[in-house]
Amino acid sequence: MAFVVVLALVLVILNLPQAVATKAKLAVGSLFLPLFGLATLTRDLGQQAGKHLPPPSALIAELDRTRRENRELRVLVAQGDEALRENDRLRQLLGWKPQLPWATKPARIIARDTANWWRTARIDRGTRDDLRPNLPVVSADGLVGKIGEVGLTTAEVVFVGDPKCRVAVVVRETSEHGVLSSSSVGVLDHRLMDLTHLPRHTALKPGQRVFTSGLGGVFPAGLPVGTIVDYRSVGYGLYTEARVKLSADTSRLNEVLVLFP
């Protein structure tokens, strides 16, 4: 009898319309919000306590290093600004549509997937912060993933490497386009991905850089994704498949940036 009850309940839940199931999932997930808040507060307190521990000499050295880095970055930003202005001028001359810069919103990862066969996480931003599904998520190292289901105060990030997140990419050095998808090797090494749909005769070499191509409409072009590790011929020599090591280590990320068009 109990078995029939559970089976019926599961069948009902599994057959809910997609929108209702998503809302139900977000509603159940929101039960954990006070606990997430508590965990974040505890982590912050720990970090603040840690800030009092370093000796002054280490702090001074860190300050010097940061100032030096800041000066270098200012020069790079100035160069970048000049390049952007030049790009805009050339676009106007050619009559191309101007590229709009993407706005960013920082978010903190508050939970990771409890199942071992998905690569997702939860961030502390939601519809309240204008988030919506399929917005790109990046870190300082490169592409991280995209936004999945969005609740009022939290949202799911589907990492690159999850079967639900495929990315159209281009190899910078060879201009060859391909699709980055999850790899069976990626179960243990989450930074290793398969680059498929490459042409038969390829000029790939290990160490070449991979960027988003902008095709597909989800990710803007030019986001760093990773580097080529190796490649092999598949489909009786008809295609080439490569392995790519992702730039961003998603297992150690605590903060990410959500991109807004």
Partner 1 sequence: MNGPQTLILLVLALLGVFAEAVVDFPRVWLRTQFDVLPPLMVYASLTGGVGTLVLLATVGGICADALSGNPMGVSVLPLFWVGLALHWRRELILRDLPYAQFVLGGMAAAAVPVLTLVVLLTLGENSLLGWGTLWQLLVVTIGGAALTPLCFSVMETLKRAFAYQPSTTTPFPANREIKRGRY
Contact pick of 53, 75, 100, 188 for partner 1 (by CB under 8 A): 188
Judged by CB under 8 A, which of 125, 131, 176, 183 binds partner 1? 183
DSSP H helical ranges for the chain: 2-14, 18-30, 33-51, 56-94
Task: List strand residue ranges (DSSP E) for 124-165, in order.
Answer: 136-139, 142-150, 155-159
Segment interacting with partner 1, rule: CB under 8 A, options 90-98, 138-146, 158-166, 233-241: 158-166
Contact assessment for residue 109 and residue 137, using Cβ atoms and an 8 Å cutoff: no
Token pair listed for 208: 């070449």
CA distance readout (Å), 219 to 62, 98, 99, 160, 247: 35, 17, 14, 12, 16
19 belongs to the binding site for partner 1 (CB under 8 A)? no
Shortest approach of partner 1 to residue 120 CB, angstroms?
5
Regarding 122 and contact with partner 1 (CB under 8 A), the answer is yes
Q: Report the alpha-carbon distance of residue 12 to residue 94 in Å, rounded.
A: 58
Q: How far is the CB of 97 from partner 1 (least distance, A)?
A: 36
Partner residues linked to 112 by β-bridges:
121
114 binds partner 1 (CB under 8 A): yes
Q: Residue 172: which of 130, 204, 138, 127 has the closest Cα?
A: 204
Q: Which of 147, 190, 225, 259 binds partner 1 (CB under 8 A)?
A: 190
Asked whether position 25 contacts partner 1 by CB under 8 A, the answer is yes
Q: Report the C-alpha gap between 147 and 258 in whole angstroms.
A: 8
CB of 169 within 8 A of CB of 195? yes
Site for partner 1, residues 195 to 254, rule: CB under 8 A:
251-252
Token pair 């989800």 in the structure block, residue: 218
Nearest approach, Cβ of 182 to partner 1 (angstroms)?
Answer: 6
Q: Is 6 in the site for partner 1 (CB under 8 A)?
A: yes
Number of residues that bind partner 1 (CB under 8 A): 51
Residue 242 CB, nearest distance to partner 1 (Å)? 17
| Residues engaged in binding partner 1 (CB under 8 A) | 2-3, 5-7, 9-10, 13-14, 16, 21, 24-26, 28-29, 31-32, 35-36, 39, 110-120, 122, 148, 156, 158, 161-164, 182-190, 251-252
